[in-house]
Structure 1
Amino acid sequence: MIRGEKVCLRPLRRSDLDFLHTYANDPEFEGEYNNFGLKRDRHLLAAFEEDGLLNARFGNLVVTTSDDQFLGTVSYHPQRYGPEASTAYNIGISLAPEQRGKGYGSEAQKLLADYLFKTYPIMRVEATTDITNIAEQRTLEKAGFTREGVLRKAQWRSGDWHDMVLYSKIRGE
């Protein structure tokens, strides 16, 4: 378990899967910026059975309070820039609607970036968010990420192309 002041990150447990499946197709939980269409029922089970959704190709951790109250999830996946050695990790977050705006997101993303730097030989952790998602942009900046620029029409979501803002954190920052 990775502990911060307000939040903890921990691997998924089998008991989390039913809870996550309940919210998998809930537009309120996914929010405007994380809704990418319907997911199959029990879509997480096979991946959980394989490796607990925690490996170098894709990781998914639960965000909780110190007393294990579910707040949401964070995830990461590799982003390659050229050869195999030029790998960064791209991170994302989904918090329950009632848990947003409380500072949990910035701490969770900071803890995740720190974990990735300690675990993998990488120089860079990055995140993207919709250009209109001002709350997440502030959250990433509070977590120590630097705004790098705009990726024009980079993401297809909700029937249209959206501009994304790219943020990064470099090892040692």
Structure 2
Amino acid sequence: MGLEFPIIETERLILREVTIEDAEGMLDYFSDQDVVKHIGLAPFQSVADVYDEINWYKSIREEGSGIRWGITLREEEQVIGSCGFLNMKPKHHRAEVGFELSKDCWGKGIASEALEAVVKYGFLHYELERIEALVEPTNLPSQKLLERQKFQKEGLLRHYEYTCGKFDDLYMYSILKGDLNEI
């Protein structure tokens, strides 16, 4: 994945590597039930839980199976969410995209701006042809966000994941490189 962590800049955001110094701020949103309820995690209880998350970000990058950017507002250092790829399959030119955002930032177009930038980056720099997103049927805001970004709902994957003591149905969404005219 290259040695230097890529920084993505948009009109309002800087997407950058998350570090241990970001853990306290990240605990604010990872401990919020409303933020984590659709991403298969129990609310975090301590900074140690955030360290585990940050270590996962590092491990997927090192093994080449993903990359996760911390989302920050241009004028602020604090990480307010993350967006990135996991389950990258270079042989098949595909990856899954995921994201979460602090509740304080919902409804302001931040997740949309971050997702758009990450998707374009994936098509341009990782030679992806297909980007997938898995979303719980009850997560209507994320479904609407994906649809606004030209992702297409492909179908329901029944009992696809087992998280937090239950089986989750997930909708499969995808976008192909050719779906974006400007790439």
Q: What TM bracket, shorter-length normalisation? A: 0.7 to 0.9
CA distance in 1, matches of 2:177, 2:103: 31
- Is the 1:54–1:61 Cα contact (8 Å) retained in structure 2? no
Which amino acid counterpart does residue 81 of structure 2 have in structure 1? G
Residue of structure 1 aligned with 2:107, choices 94, 101, 105: 101
Query: What is the 5 A alignment of 1:97-136?
Result: 97-136=103-142
Deviation of the 1:66 alpha carbon: 1.8
Query: 1:155 maps to what in 2?
Result: 161
Deviation of the 1:75 alpha carbon: 2.6
- Is the 2:29–2:80 Cα contact (8 Å) retained in structure 1? no
Which amino acid counterpart does residue 79 of structure 2 have in structure 1? F
Which amino acid counterpart does residue 11 of structure 2 have in structure 1? E
CA gap 1:145/1:153 in 2 versus in 1, 3 angstroms: same
RMSD (CA atoms)? 2.7
In the alignment, does 2:67 pair up with 1:62? no
In the alignment, does 2:145 pair up with 1:139? yes
DSSP-derived class of the 1:117 partner: helix
- Is the 2:86–2:98 Cα contact (8 Å) retained in structure 1? no
Query: What is the 5 A alignment of 1:68-87?
Result: 68=76, 69-80=78-89, 85-87=91-93
TM-score (norm 2): 0.77
Deviation of the 1:166 alpha carbon: 0.9
Residues 78-104 of structure 1: per-residue CA shift (max 9 Å, x gap): 344xxx621411011110111112111
Q: How many residues align?
A: 167
Deviation of the 1:163 alpha carbon: 1.4
CA distance in 1, matches of 2:42, 2:118: 26
- For structure 1, the 5+ residue unaligned runs are none
- For structure 2, the 5+ residue unaligned runs are 1-6
- Structure with the higher fraction of residues in helix conformation: 2
In the alignment, does 2:170 pair up with 1:170? no
